[in-house]
Amino acid sequence: MSSLYTLAIHGGAGTISKASMSAEAQKNYEEALLNALKTGETWLKNGGDALTAVEKAVVELENNPLFNAGKGAVFTHEGQHEMDASVMEGKFLNAGAVSGLKHVKNPVLLARKVMDEGTHVYLSGSGAEAFAKKNGLAFEDDAYFYVPLRYQQLQEALKQDKVFLDHKETKPDKFGTVGAVALDVHGNLAAATSTGGMTNKKHGRVGDTPIIGAGTYANNSTCAISCTGHGEFFIRAVVAYDISCLMEYKGLSLKEACRIVVHEKLVKLGGEGGLIAVDNKGNIELPFNSEGMYRGSVRSGEEKFIAIYKP
Ligand code: ASP
């Protein structure tokens, strides 16, 4: 067992600029990110596993209405919530994913349950919710998920007849998909991602978040990745797995693999967003090609890092 651990988290990427953010809003985001980072780090510091660490960090962000996941999930075209989430661990390549959840309080916990139960990797819609009920997961009604600003965002999107990344607006309050990646002291990697998707999305639309290899991936021989951004592009670019493949088959460093995928391949396709990544040596990368990304990271023995805008 080594004493090395790392943890990185994100709260979404997009058009997030300092000019459009009040000092108070910025403080709230930074505090929320810091708390999630602390929760995951406490677990890792005490020898806890990477999978539970990322789950704990994501649950905390899901419960915070500032972010587009769990409580703060955005509205679909029909004015409902359809949440997606996934988890993956890098030792045995086990994974769990869920999509189209309307009332499950913490989608990431359901993804973990799907993984642990072991029969299937991916459950969707009413089948996923039935599985959640059977396993005693917490449910909430529509009122819990109703966040007034989200509703305004839907009205704006309907007016413009557009599908929005939740932060693609100029108001000071911008929110995002959440995710976490970690390396634990046992040398295991894990990743988790959770989202409400995109404002005004069609009923049944599934983004990259629950798709293993697109929005989420972990493999002990390479890295763990959690993505955020315009999901359709992340699916087409198979972003998370592509980074792992560049490391595994081409021997690239995490940094170089991330640069190629986020700043070359995605940009060429027109895909806006970013990701958080850690590798099995303790390196951390937080690349994005959008204006900003809510992000934070920590490595054993080092200060915590929190940032929102471009460096
Ligand atoms: N990637 C998410 C999706 O397309 C959205 C986001 O990251 O904000 O569903």
List pLDDT tens digits, range 226-270: 999 999 999 999 999 999 999 999 999 999 999 999 999 999 999
196 within some domain: yes
User: How many domains does the chain fold into?
Assistant: 1
Global pTM reads 0.94
Averaged confidence pLDDT in the chain:
93
Percent of the chain past pLDDT 70, that is, above it, reads 96
List pLDDT tens digits, range 3-60: 999 999 999 998 777 777 888 989 999 999 999 999 999 999 999 999 999 999 999 9
Any idea which of 18-32, 93-107, 237-251, 287-301 has the lowest mean pLDDT?
18-32
With bands split at pLDDT 50, 70 and 90, how would you rate the model's confidence at 311? confident
With bands split at pLDDT 50, 70 and 90, how would you rate the model's confidence at 200? confident
Take residue 168 and report the two structure tokens written for it. 């693609």
Take residue 21 and report the two structure tokens written for it. 């953010």
CATH classification of the domain holding 65: 3.60.20.30
How far CA 150 is from CA of 13, 15, 164, 198, in Å, comes to: 17, 16, 11, 11
With bands split at pLDDT 50, 70 and 90, how would you rate the model's confidence at 166? low
Please work out whether the CB of residue 90 comes within 6 Å of at least one atom of ligand 1: no
Please work out whether the CB of residue 297 comes within 6 Å of at least one atom of ligand 1: no
How far CA 181 is from CA of 23, 149, 205, 217, 234, in Å, comes to: 28, 29, 25, 9, 17
1 within some domain: no
Range(s) of the domain holding residue 147: 6-309
Q: In the predicted model, is pLDDT for residue 145 greater than 90?
A: no
- Ligand 1 centroid distance, CA of 300 (Å): 30
Closest C-alpha among 197, 174, 164, 153 to residue 17: 174
181 within some domain: yes
Any idea which of 23-37, 87-101, 123-137 has the lowest mean pLDDT?
23-37
Pocket test for ligand 1, best of 83, 124, 208 (most atoms within 8 A of CB): 208
Please work out whether the CB of residue 231 comes within 6 Å of at least one atom of ligand 1: yes
